[in-house]
Chain A
Amino acid sequence: MILTLNGEQRDDLAAATVADLLEELGLGTRPVAVMVNGEVVRRAEQAGHRLSDGDSVEVISLIGGG
């Protein structure tokens, strides 16, 4: 399966769901938000949201800003 993850094409990920993906990326415990194809996938839906070939996934967290 090929995903676009934060703007980068990736074919090395085994995750089947959004929750799996966060676990695989080592982001399971920190505050992040996930968008798939431009829509936020709420925390409660992450385990049930299956990823499909060609999905564009954005993983968002906090950075510095004013």
Chain B
Amino acid sequence: MSTQAPETPSLFPHSSADFGDAPLLVGKHTFHSRLIVGTGKYPDFPTMRQAHIASGADCVTVALRRVDLKNPENNILNHIDLGRMTLLPNTAGCYTVEEAVQVGVMVQEMELGDLIKVEVIGDQKTLMPDPIGTVEATRKLTAMGFTCMSYCSDDIVLCKRLEEAGAAAVMPLGSPIGSGRGVLNPTNIRLIKDAASVPIIVDAGVGCASDCASAMELGVDGLLVNTAIASAKDPVKMAHAIRMATVAGRLSFQAGRMDKRLYASASTPLKDF
């Protein structure tokens, strides 16, 4: 009997929907995967495309920047499966509400759809979001007709304010962008999820598959993962791992964990031996 791994790995489970889970609903959008992936930091476009397939994701972030006029053919849209993926343009790099709104105008101009990831950075060194600017940008972009998915710090009051400002999903960070430190304050994330009536998606900070499973076990609705996949030594393999971990964490949350005990409790009956 051959023990060799199959050349093309299975994409089962594709998402928790394979186990009867409801899809992720953000505004009018339905996502079958609870994993959203990014397009930054990949070693090359073919690797990114393979990793996207392996992730099972059907939503992908992109950013807006100056066109590279020396290589105008170098268009990232040629490397994204637009038949499967919904684009989630971000306002990354914006430090003010005005800049974020201007990105919104450009997203409309480019006819990229109504989704936007609202990101207003408040500190250059840590890239921690500006909570006040993020609320204001969410309010303005929502008024412009956007379905806002707002990236923020893991503060319950801030998350409530974002919801009031019109956010269709609130995306607290697990730890700073690209740090790969996992969810540093799981208690905060649980409190945020408990209070929210819009989807809570952990965005930023997960570093590996087990971080994703742990985050999903907190009960959040989804994850946005870029660096953990793109900066892995084998991004395609990590995308498979993170896809399966996201599903595993979701199922583990739904299944309901056993109570923790201080003392042992025999799995095998001790009597009648």
Contacts and interface: CB of A to CB of B under 8 A. Distances in A.
B41 interface: yes
A40 B109 contact: yes
A61 B102 CA distance: 13
Chain B interface residue number, banded: 35 or more
Nearest to A38: B102
Given A63-B65, A64-B39, A33 B110 contact: yes
Interface stretch (B26-34, B56-64, B186-194): B56-64
A66 B77 contact: no
A30 B129 CA distance: 31
A66 B76 contact: no
B166 interface: no
Nearest to A5: B69
Interface string A30-66: 1111110000101100000000000000111111111
13 contacts: A6-B66, A6-B67, A26-B72, A33-B105, A40-B105, A40-B106, A60-B106, A62-B64, A64-B39, A65-B40, A65-B63, A66-B177, A66-B226
Interface of A: 5-8, 25-27, 30-35, 40, 42-43, 58-66
Interface of B: 38-42, 48, 61-67, 69, 72, 75-77, 89-90, 92, 102, 105-107, 109-112, 177-178, 204, 224, 226-227
